[in-house]
Amino acid sequence: MNEKHTSFKRQLTKSLLIWAITLWIFSTIAATVVFTEEYDELLDLNLETTAQLMLPIAQSESVNLNPSINTPKLFTPDLPWLDKDESFIFHLLDKNGSVLLISALYSEDLFKGLPLKEGLAKQGGYRLFTTHPNSKGSVLQIAIPLAERNQAIIDNLLSLGVSFLLLLPFMLYSIRYLTKKYGGVISSLSNAIGSRNGADLSPIKLDQNFSELVPTVSSVNALLERLRKSLSNERDFSTNVAHELRTPLAISLAQTQRLKASSNDANVIERSTEIEAGLKRLADLTEKLLQLSRSDAGIGLAAEKTEISRVIKLVVDGLSISNKTASRIKLIQPVSQFLSFIDPDALAIILSNLIDNALKHSVGGKEVLIDAAQAGVIKVINDCEAVSSKNLKMVCTRFQRGSGDVAGFGIGLSIVQSLCTQAGADLKITSPCNENGRGFEVTIELPSAEEHV
């Protein structure tokens, strides 16, 4: 089961945006509460001041009014400090509670049940204030609709909401920009670590090395250095052992072949043959170890261009002579010159392994086809039983041998894959490769010299 991974930058952007929106919501609520309290206090003070200023004026207008004889008089004061857009409703009461003056839009029910005690009150959707009785015992009760206050609060909320919506794209862009800028350092570190392999164990360097990442980078670089030294020691050991074994193996093989040729004893000849086969197998293993060591050293690319057709012909001729298999190798030469920066020794190792592998696995000693007619493309094809898709995925795994009784060490195709990767060549393995459901085909597409420029 594949583990689902979450993007760090996406998660950080999402978290910051959620926190920003949440902070805005709480800030808006807090600002609205404070605004409401302050606005109510300001309007209450304005209501009280208006009532206190209107009381003596209304008292002067009510002179000679007798509530037992006269009906309440309509009073519409024209006061300079009074905003004409404000819908004040009031009445003037004498000391007995009788109404002397009333304002426009007056409703008796509005002030019904309101005590003649100085102070503020809410009633019927209005804010009301009762003044302290003056020297004649008269009081003024005044009211203003709460709808105006509520509308002001709503307008304040709307202005905050519109402001946030206008700032939201900028805030989102800022969050994404900063996340990309500073989160990119982590992405760079991740990509740098992910790009390290057996061919590249160089230390990791970051353009912006934050203090939080210094321990991680230092630890990874220390590990890479230890791994590089370990692989280098392993490579040197394999190379030295292989080189040291070549001479004694050659001498032992030569002596065994002389013994076999000079003896007439059937038992000696039989045992000599077995020893010869073992020594040849050991010599082949030594050669493979040397190739593996060179592959691990990263010889895939050369500083100068290589003409491919010459290398192909040299390798085929060499194998035909050494293995006495000229009749089994069919070569289709390139029709034109093709230059690449692949190292000629690396190409020779690739071809020798592929051809050797094809010769070993061809059924009944059938012909092996090397098709290099297409510029930059080399195909090595042999007839054999089709390889299952499961085994096909594993054939390039180091020390992974195929099924069957064919001798081998399981490192030839892994060497080929490693050198192709170093040279920038594409390696494709197909089986079956013909209409009969049989065969094994390896295709190598080499990059041209121009592609490397």
Task: Looking at the structure, tell me whether residues 114 and 200 fall in a common domain.
Answer: no
- Looking at every residue in the chain, the average pLDDT score rounds to 80
Identify which of 290, 288, 313, 412 has the alpha carbon closest to the alpha carbon of residue 360: 412
d(CA 239, CA 288): 10
Q: Report pLDDT for 1.
A: 44
In this prediction, residue 141 carries a pLDDT of 92
Domain boundary among 129, 153, 177: 153
Do 54 and 133 share a domain, yes or no?
Answer: yes
Q: Which residues contact 411 (CB under 8 A, 6 or more apart)?
A: 288, 292, 398, 399
Paired strand residues for 144: 127
On whether both 38 and 93 belong to a single domain, the answer is yes
Query: Which of these three, 297, 332, 359, is where a domain ends?
Result: 297
- The reported pLDDT for the residue numbered 402 is 57
- Give pLDDT, residue 139: 92
What average pLDDT does the segment 24-52 reach?
Answer: 87
Q: Which of 414, 445, 378 is closest to 291 using CA atoms? A: 414
Kindly report the CATH number assigned to the domain that includes residue 321.
3.30.565.10
Distance, in Å, from the CA atom of 427 to the CA atom of 448, rounded to the nearest integer, reads 15
Distance CA 312, CA 329 (A): 12
Structure tokens at 202: 């160089």
Reply yes or no on whether the pLDDT at 16 is more than 80.
Answer: yes
In the listed set 249, 282, 297, which residue is the last one of a domain according to the structure?
297
How many C-alpha atoms does 64 have within 13 Å on its Cβ side?
1
> CA-to-CA distance for 37 and 17, rounded, in angstroms?
30
Is 109 inside a domain boundary? Answer: yes
Mean pLDDT across 272-285: 82
Check pLDDT > 60 for residue 114: yes
Together in a domain, 64 and 205:
no
Cα separation, 109 vs 123, whole angstroms: 10
Determine, yes or no, domain membership for 166: no
For residue range 118-161, list pLDDT tens digits in order: 999 988 889 999 999 988 888 999 998 888 788 888 888 888 88
State the Rg of the chain over Cα.
49
Q: How far is CA 248 from CA 69, 255, 278, 287, in A?
A: 144, 10, 14, 14
Does 79 score more than 60 pLDDT? no
DSSP labels, 159-223: HHHHHHHHHHHHHHHHHHHHHHHHHHHHHHHHHHHHH-BTTB-PPP--SS--TTTHHHHHHHHHH
**Predicted confidence (pLDDT) per residue in 1-10, tens digit:** 456 667 777 8
Identify each DSSP E strand in 354-425 by its residue range.
368-371, 377-382
Instruction: Kindly state the average pLDDT of the residues 309-320.
Output: 83
Clarify whether residues 347 and 253 are in a common domain: no
In sequence order, the 6+-apart residues with CB closer than 8 A to the CB of 451 are 424
What CATH number does the domain containing 148 carry?
3.30.450
Predicted confidence at residue 129, as pLDDT, reads: 93
Residue 6: strand, helix, or coil:
coil
Domain membership of residue 178 (yes or no) is no
pLDDT at position 140: 92
CB 360 within 8 A of CB 380: no
20 part of a folded domain: yes
For residues 357 and 413, the answer to whether their CB atoms sit within 8 Å is yes
In a domain, 98, yes or no: yes
Look at residue 128 in the predicted model and tell me its pLDDT. 92
Check if the beta carbon of residue 381 is closer than 8 Å to that of residue 441.
Answer: yes
Residue 182 maps to a domain: no
> Token digits for 65?
């009014």
238: in domain: yes
- My answer on whether 125 and 232 are in the same domain is no
Nearest Cα residue to 57 out of 80, 34, 85, 86? 80
Same domain, yes or no: 385 and 277: no
pTM > 0.95: yes or no: no
What whole-number distance in Å separates Cα of residue 439 and Cα of residue 165?
A: 66
18 lies in the same domain as 63: yes
> Within its chain, how far is the Cα of 414 from the centroid?
31
- Band of the pLDDT at 392, cuts 50, 70, 90? confident
Tokens of 83: 């905003």
Hey, which of 41-55, 261-275, 309-323 has the most confident mean pLDDT? 41-55
pLDDT over 60 (residue 89):
yes
Distance CA 286, CA 252 (A): 14
Examine the domain organization and report whether 358 and 287 are in the same domain.
no
Report the C-alpha dihedral over residues 298, 303, 304, 308, rounded to 10 degrees: 20
Domain count, the chain: 3
Nearest to 446 by CA among 291, 310, 300: 300
Question: Of 251-260, 322-331, 368-377, which gets the smallest average pLDDT?
Answer: 322-331
Is residue 73 situated within a structural domain? yes
Is residue 379 within 8 Å of 369, Cβ to Cβ?
yes
For residue range 161-170, list pLDDT tens digits in order. Answer: 888 888 888 8
Residues 445, 308 within the same domain: yes
Among 46, 63, 41, which residue's Cα sits nearest to residue 134? Answer: 63
Within this chain, do residues 112 and 223 fall inside the same structural domain, yes or no? Answer: no
Cis peptide before 145 (omega within 30 of 0): no
Position 119 scores a pLDDT of 92
Beta bridge partners, 141, equal 91, 130
C-alpha to C-alpha distance for 203 and 198, rounded to whole angstroms: 13
Spell out the residues 6+ positions from residue 66 whose beta carbon is closer than 8 angstroms to its own: none
**Full residue range of the structural domain in which residue 113 is found:** 8-153
Instruction: Give yes or no for a contact between 329 and 320, defined as CB atoms under 8 angstroms apart.
Output: yes
Let me know whether 325 and 414 are in one domain. Answer: yes
